Structure 1
Amino acid sequence: MQYLITLVFLVVLAFYSNFIGKLFEKLRLPSLLGMMVAGLIIGPYGLDKIPDLALKISPILKDIALVTVLFIGGLGIGVDQIKKIGRPAVCLSIIPATLEGFTIAYLATIFLDFTFVQGAILGFIIAAVSPAVLIPAMVNLIEKKVGQKKSIPQLLLVGASADDSIAITLFTSFLAIYFQGINGGDFNLKLQLIILPISIIVSLLVGACVGYIGSKSFLLIKNIKIRLATVFLICLGLRYIENRFHFNLYNSLLTIMSLGFFIRYYQKEKYKEIHQGMNNIWKYGKIYLFTFVGMAINPRLIGGYFFIGVVILFFSLTIRSIGVLISLIGTDLDYKERLFCIIAYLPKATVQSAKAGIPLQMGVIGGEIMQAIAILSVLITAPLGAIGINLTYDRLINRD
């Protein structure tokens, strides 16, 4: 009976969340904000009207949607564009998140009386840009032919996909350093920093290999529906491997984006058939992704840390923005386009919703404060980034 109730709930949820999203669009706000608000209203920290089974499968549904949009993002990147964005994309994946994470670590020692390690745990929860907000927005700009002459959406897509790897790796590293300090053990940070670039290279190579194998096998399937289903199942399988085995040298989201890139490379113009099919899946996937992200937000946690959290976020986002400008040194972007990149790199949602409660669950001292400020970062930056992208892309970057 619970399966039937959950199925009916998910169908009703799609209509309800999509309706709220449309209302926000009429107010000239991004629909994703409406979907997040819809999730917040009926979620565990709102009216609490979610069946238990729906909450249990929500991580799976979010993963499926995230896989879809990352793959679409990869399909939107051409070889000629990679040649333009190579160095700045690498810089965008490393510099802004690293500067922001360590800025928060330092500020936490002043405002929250944390040790630097505790501050770094908080810093690298917050430092990750949200693929759930940024990537759909950039895919939308690619479809509208905006910023294609300088490959601005592609630049931000590639940078954001690796940005999360940097932030999550440093988060887990400082978490391990914290517990090693308590238990009197040693933690090899140098080894972790060596593993990080290797994991990025390995992930890209896995995507390239799967794409090459596909060019000799499943990409030759004539029936587009079967070909699309095969590609989609392979993407989900690549994500499942990471979720199941947690390999240090493998980032499934980066692999899936690179697979999209190599399928476009091997398929030439025929990649558009897969692209259209994935877009149809995303129409429904985005509803569940943003709604379930909204359900994970607990505004009640913020409480007495609102003012301190806002101060920390103000300084950290300022340093993050400087990191974006540093990353774009040497590019042909004008000042308006650089400003757009800063705005696009502000939003946080997915990683923060998923990681905010981990320090508290693991018994880190100050874990409840970390959770509160991480949730605050979502409430402030997700609307700021999403609305900012929506309102400024027409004014700051050119429609080709």
Structure 2
Amino acid sequence: MIIVLSLLIIGILANYSGLIAEKLKLPSLIGMMIVGMLIGPSYLNLVPQGTLEISSTIKDVALVTVLFIGGLGISLDQIKQIGRPAVLLSVVPATLEGFVIAFLSMKFLGFTFIQGAILGFIIAAVSPAVLIPSMISLIDRKVGQDKAIPQMLLVGASADDTIAITLFTTFLGVYLQNQKGESISIVSQLISIPISIFASILVAFLLFKISEFALRKVKNDYIKVVVVFIISLMMRYAEKTTHTQYLNSLLAVMIYGFFIRNYMKESAQFILDKMNNIWKYGKLYLFSFVGMAINPTLVGEYIYVGLFMLTISLSFRSVGVLLALTGTNLNLKERIFCVIAYLPKATVQSAKSSIPLQMGVAGGEIMQAIAILSVLVTAPLGAIGIKLTSDKLLNRKEDKYFDEVMKYS
């Protein structure tokens, strides 16, 4: 009962803090994250331990919901249009930023290259919690649809985390093995990245074919929603429990939603509507729990060197985004928007920042401090930037394909 009551209060506080943020012309998620920080362990410590222990599960449910909605917003025609730049967006910005931070860490923090790369690839991941809801909002408002820009960023960001987390795990493994006098194959770790992406797409396709066969026999649309949502959650649960590096469940969930949107057109709109209803409540807990995981007090004496390093690394990340968009039909304004949208960090950094310290990596406390600083700087910067610039830098155009699809619901 204490957990249930605390969740109810957290939901109410997050809702009103989001409304206050909107009154101040800020994204609602900023208000939700701030209230999470205030009531969480870092400051007032008002949240029961039991609630904190299940917060990871609740965040996963919310992330699965919003990524599934994201997949439902991508058409087959758009995938053909955004394929190459989406792939490059998943690889180039994160890789470039991660290695830049690695070299900066050697210069300004006295780290070895391996230590710097561990920090670099904690920071390098874009935040799905911030970027994906913002892109779904743009899809709903038909902003950037003429060139499928939100869809391109959705796909790129979902695979971006695979790159960053795999490289973080790889360099952490190299460090720990070196401490034991053992060796680890970096090549085999890097090969796992394309395998993971391919495996995620294959898993999504197979689960779609199985569920499609079953759901065509079901007349009740509510049952269809329950089934596809459970399948999506199962993918996330499988990755979390097996700890496999060969499945990116968040990418798989999005691809699963994509298959439903394009090959179960008669049910897609109803499923989308009900998932949107779930997301209305899920976002309250996603952003408030993300806020609770942020501890600004850890930043301490590393704030200035951290800000300097982040300024340089984000500049290189922005160059990486522009390189990934080379050869596309995006104009300068649209490219600038993509740079802004790829700035925010939150989810991965909150989850991974304490791992080096826990694993006994030298300088782990510095890594945690700078990773948390990256969230404090880029999450509001990216979220506010997306909100303020989307209507100014992107075109508003009806997605005729989606409208045609949804007429049959």
Q: Do the two structures share a fold, i.e. TM-score over 0.5? A: yes
> Is the Cα contact below 8 Å between 1:100 and 1:316 reproduced in 2?
yes
- Give the whole-Å Cα distance in 2 for the aligned partners of 1:333 and 1:38: 38
Task: Give identity over the alignment, percent.
Answer: 61
Please tell me the residue identity of whatever aligns with 2:390.
Answer: Y
- Give the whole-Å Cα distance in 2 for the aligned partners of 1:219 and 1:41: 48
1:151 to 148, 152, 177: 148
1:34 to 31, 35, 38: 31
- Give the whole-Å Cα distance in 1 for the aligned partners of 2:152 and 2:285: 27
Please tell me the residue identity of whatever aligns with 2:393.
Answer: L
Taking the TM superposition and a 5 Å limit, the aligned residue runs for 1:304-315 are 304-315=301-312
- Give the whole-Å Cα distance in 2 for the aligned partners of 1:393 and 1:269: 31
Please tell me the residue identity of whatever aligns with 2:259.
Answer: F
Partner of 2:81: 84
Taking the TM superposition and a 5 Å limit, the aligned residue runs for 1:1-400 are 4-218=1-215, 220-400=217-397
Unaligned runs of 5+ in 2: 398-409
Question: Offset of 1:48 from its aligned partner?
Answer: 0.3
Question: Offset of 1:340 from its aligned partner?
Answer: 0.1
- Give the whole-Å Cα distance in 1 for the aligned partners of 2:233 and 2:210: 17
Question: Offset of 1:268 from its aligned partner?
Answer: 1.7
Unaligned runs of 5+ in 1: none
> Is the Cα contact below 8 Å between 2:221 and 2:267 reproduced in 1?
no
- Give the whole-Å Cα distance in 2 for the aligned partners of 1:320 and 1:154: 20
Secondary structure of the 2:219 match is: coil
Deviates most, 12-21 or 95-104: 12-21
- Give the whole-Å Cα distance in 2 for the aligned partners of 1:254 and 1:16: 31
Please tell me the residue identity of whatever aligns with 2:22.
Answer: E
Question: Offset of 1:270 from its aligned partner?
Answer: 2.5
Please tell me the residue identity of whatever aligns with 1:250.
Answer: L
> Is the Cα contact below 8 Å between 2:349 and 2:375 reproduced in 1?
yes
> Is the Cα contact below 8 Å between 1:215 and 1:267 reproduced in 2?
yes
Secondary structure of the 1:339 match is: helix
Please tell me the residue identity of whatever aligns with 2:103.
Answer: Y
Question: Offset of 1:219 from its aligned partner?
Answer: 5.1
Question: Offset of 1:209 from its aligned partner?
Answer: 1.1
Q: 1:220 to 1:399 in 2, by over 3 A?
A: farther
- Give the whole-Å Cα distance in 2 for the aligned partners of 1:129 and 1:321: 12
- Give the whole-Å Cα distance in 2 for the aligned partners of 1:52 and 1:177: 34
Question: Offset of 1:224 from its aligned partner?
Answer: 1.6
Secondary structure of the 2:187 match is: helix
Secondary structure of the 1:149 match is: coil
- Give the whole-Å Cα distance in 1 for the aligned partners of 2:366 and 2:216: 49
Question: Offset of 1:218 from its aligned partner?
Answer: 2.6
> Is the Cα contact below 8 Å between 1:130 and 1:347 reproduced in 2?
yes
- Give the whole-Å Cα distance in 2 for the aligned partners of 1:137 and 1:269: 26
Please tell me the residue identity of whatever aligns with 2:304.
Answer: F
Question: Offset of 1:220 from its aligned partner?
Answer: 4.2
- Give the whole-Å Cα distance in 2 for the aligned partners of 1:199 and 1:162: 10
Question: Offset of 1:328 from its aligned partner?
Answer: 0.2
Question: Offset of 1:151 from its aligned partner?
Answer: 0.2
Question: Offset of 1:248 from its aligned partner?
Answer: 2.2
CA displacement 1:172-211 (0-9 Å, x = unmatched): 0000000111111111000111111011001011101111
Please tell me the residue identity of whatever aligns with 1:227.
Answer: K
Please tell me the residue identity of whatever aligns with 2:56.
Answer: P
Secondary structure of the 1:49 match is: coil
How many residue pairs match? The answer is: 397
Please tell me the residue identity of whatever aligns with 1:125.
Answer: I
Question: Offset of 1:78 from its aligned partner?
Answer: 0.4
Question: Offset of 1:388 from its aligned partner?
Answer: 0.1
> Is the Cα contact below 8 Å between 1:211 and 1:266 reproduced in 2?
no
Q: TM-score, normalised by structure 2?
A: 0.96
- Give the whole-Å Cα distance in 1 for the aligned partners of 2:235 and 2:92: 27
